[in-house]
Amino acid sequence: MFDFRPDPAAPKVETYRELRESAAALVAGESDAVANMANVAALMWQFLPDLNWAGFYRVVGDELVLGPFIGKPACIRIPFGAGRVQGVCGAAAASGTTQLVDDVHAFPGHIACDAASASELVVPVVVAGRVVAVIDLDSPAKARFDSQDAAGIEALAAVIGPAIAG
């Protein structure tokens, strides 16, 4: 059994280093992508304050399909191919770039799975040059995420990518 205890007073850079190292330890030697995503979603929930949703959407064809997460039930399929981009997750998958949104209600095409969400951070997980999933974090606080959060989750995505590529 793993017992990860993040320090709530630690600077963000330290929190993200510990999150990345903990995730690497959890996925090491495990080949099941779903199990790895589930454990990483739980870690993000444990390590990062002020979230109301944390998890994954997997790339399946030209759609994102809901993966392991913690939070309220969510949209199951999000199109992102052939000019059908929807929501913050779809934008991240289609562009291959991180989406940092201070106010989701001002984001064109935002998909409101949880009306309590106010801000969102979505980071594509890229393996061998292709997006295989996105990490999605939602918060009920506007402007909850900043560039340090984006950098921390991008580093996490790089570490866990091969373990969730399936």
Is residue 7 assigned to a domain?
no
Is residue 4 assigned to a domain?
no
Q: How many domains does the chain have?
A: 1
Show the domain range for 107.
12-164
Is residue 85 assigned to a domain?
yes
Q: Which two tokens stand for residue 16?
A: 């993200």
Is residue 1 assigned to a domain?
no
Is residue 3 assigned to a domain?
no
pLDDT tens by residue, 61-118 = 989 999 999 999 999 999 886 666 688 999 999 999 999 999 998 887 767 676 788 8
- At residue 79, the pLDDT reads 87
Sort strands 77-79 and 99-101 into parallel, antiparallel or unpaired: unpaired
- Percent of the chain whose predicted confidence (pLDDT) is above 70: 93
Whether 163 has a pLDDT exceeding 60, the answer reads yes
Looking up residue 74, the CATH number of its domain turns out to be: 3.30.450.40
Stated as kind and residue range, the H or E segment containing 123 is: strand 119-127
